[in-house]
Structure 1
Amino acid sequence: KFKVAVNASEKTDRAAIQVHDIGLQIVRNSAGELGFRVHVGGGLGRTPMVGPVIREFLPELDLLTYLEAILRVYNRYGRRDNKFKARIKILVKALTPAGFAEKVEAEWAHIKDSPTRLTRDEIERIQSYFTEPDYATLTDQTELLATQRFEDREFDKWLSYNVSEHKKPGYASVTLTLKKTGVPPGDVTDYQLEQIADLADAFSFGEVRTTHEQNVVLADVRQDRLYDLWQQLIPLGFATANLNTLTDIICCPGGDYCALANAKSIPVAEAIQRRFDDLDYLYDLGPIDLNISGCMNACGHHHVGNIGVLGVDKKGEEFYQISLGGSSQHDAEVGKILGPSFARDQMPEVLAKIIDVYVEKRTEEETFLDTY
Structure 2
Amino acid sequence: MNFDTTPRGRELWARVDAFMRERIEPQEQAAREELAANTAAGRRWTPLQTIQNLKQQAKAEGLWNLFLPDSDQGAGLTNFEYAPLAERMGHVLWASEVFNCSAPDTGNMEVLARYGTPAQQERWLKPLLAGEIRSGFAMTEPEVASSDATNIATRIERDGDAYVINGRKWWTSGAGDPRCAVYIVMGRSNPEAGKHEQQSMILVPADAPGVKVVRALPVFGNDDAPHGHCEMLFENVRVPVENLLLGEGRGFEIAQGRLGPGRIHHCMRLIGMSERALRLMCERLSSRVAFGKPLATQGVWHERIAQSRILIDQARLLTLNAAHMMDTVGNKVAKQEIAMIKVVAPNVATQVIDWAIQAWGGAGVSDVTPLAELYGAARTLRLADGPDEVHRVSIAKQELGRYRG
What band does the TM-score fall into relative to the shorter chain? under 0.3
- TM-score w.r.t. length of structure 2: 0.23
In terms of fraction of residues, the more helix-rich structure is 2
Q: What TM-score does the superposition give when structure 1 sets the normalisation length?
A: 0.24
